[in-house]
Structure formats: structure tokens, C-alpha cells
A = this chain, B = another copy of it.
Amino acid sequence: MISRLERILSSLSDDELQLEVAPGRNRVYYILGHLTAFQDRLLHQLGLGERLYPELDDLFVTNRDRSFQDKFTGAELRGMFAEITSTITSGIQAMSPADFLKRHESVSEQDFAKEPLRNRFAVLNGTTAHMMLHAGQIRLVVKT
């Protein structure tokens, strides 16, 4: 799914990242930052280490698009996305099936005892679905 999104993004220039996916809707730039923030959360949630770019949350999750001055270039966002997702991909390859059933880092031990399906597999699945939802929006600006 990451490759699929990267293929869509690679057909857009850095200038084209400034396009809105539909009139008045988010720019591709903002969506890329938003997805990078969620992948960065996932990295931590899967137990693969500390977040690399937690400052993305303020910019791309809490705030809406165009409510702030762009702090990163499109190329910088692409670089962060690639760095985070390659860490996740190699981390996942080293995980055993049993690891996927462990608690993810955003659930407390108490809550996990009550809801054991809130495991690493579930958070991987949910984050991937969220990524695809936005990938479909980005694809609208790609010329076919």
C-alpha cells in the first residue's frame, strides 16, 4: 500500500503538491504531511521506536490546511515519509505473528486487558486504510 501511494506521489512534481484535490479541499502537500504524521505515530505504536517527527502532529493533524505558514518543503515531506515508512517496513518484516497480537503503544495496559483486539495488527490495518482513503483523493489530481 505504501508503494501504491508512492507511485501516485512520484507522478507529481513538487509544484504540483500545491494542487488542491478538489476545489476548496486540502492540498496534496497537506495530505502528504498528514499521512507522514500518521505513519510516524504508527512507527511508535508498533513498538518500533520513538517517533521521528512528532512536530508534524501540530502542523498536519491539529491544524487545518492553509491555517499556517508551510514550514517544510514538499521535498522535505517526501523525504520524511520515505524515511519513516522504510523504518516501518523493515520493522514489520522482523515482527513475528505473535508480535502483531501485542498491545500497541497508544493503548494502556488496562484498556488492552479489556479489549485485546486493540493490538498492533489492528493499528497497522487502520492506519493503512486511512492512508488509502487519502491516496484516492491525491489520485484525483494525477493526469490519466
Inter-chain CA distance A13–B25, complex, in Å, is 21
Q: Across the interface, which residues of B come within 8 angstroms of A94, CB to CB?
A: none
Residue of B1, B4, B25, B140 near A25 (CB, 8 A) is: B140
What is the size, in residues, of chain A's interface with B at 8 Å between Cβ atoms?
A: 17
The copy count of this chain in the complex is: 2
A82 at the interface (CB under 8 A from B): no
Q: Across the interface, which residues of B come within 8 angstroms of A21, CB to CB?
A: 22, 140
Q: Across the interface, which residues of B come within 8 angstroms of A137, CB to CB?
A: 136-137, 139-140
> Which residues in A have some Cβ–Cβ distance to B below 8 Å?
1, 4, 21-23, 25, 128-130, 132-137, 139-140
Subset of 24 A-B contacts with CB under 8 Å: A1-B129, A4-B129, A21-B22, A21-B140, A22-B23, A22-B140, A23-B23, A25-B140, A129-B129, A129-B132, A130-B132, A132-B132, A132-B133, A132-B136, A133-B135, A133-B136, A133-B139, A134-B136, A135-B136, A136-B136, A137-B137, A137-B139, A137-B140, A140-B140
In the assembled complex, how far is the CB of residue A50 from the closest CB belonging to chain B, in whole angstroms?
Answer: 28
When C-beta atoms are compared, the residue in chain B nearest to A31 turns out to be B136
In the assembled complex, how far is the CB of residue A126 from the closest CB belonging to chain B, in whole angstroms?
Answer: 9
Inter-chain CA distance A135–B140, complex, in Å, is 13
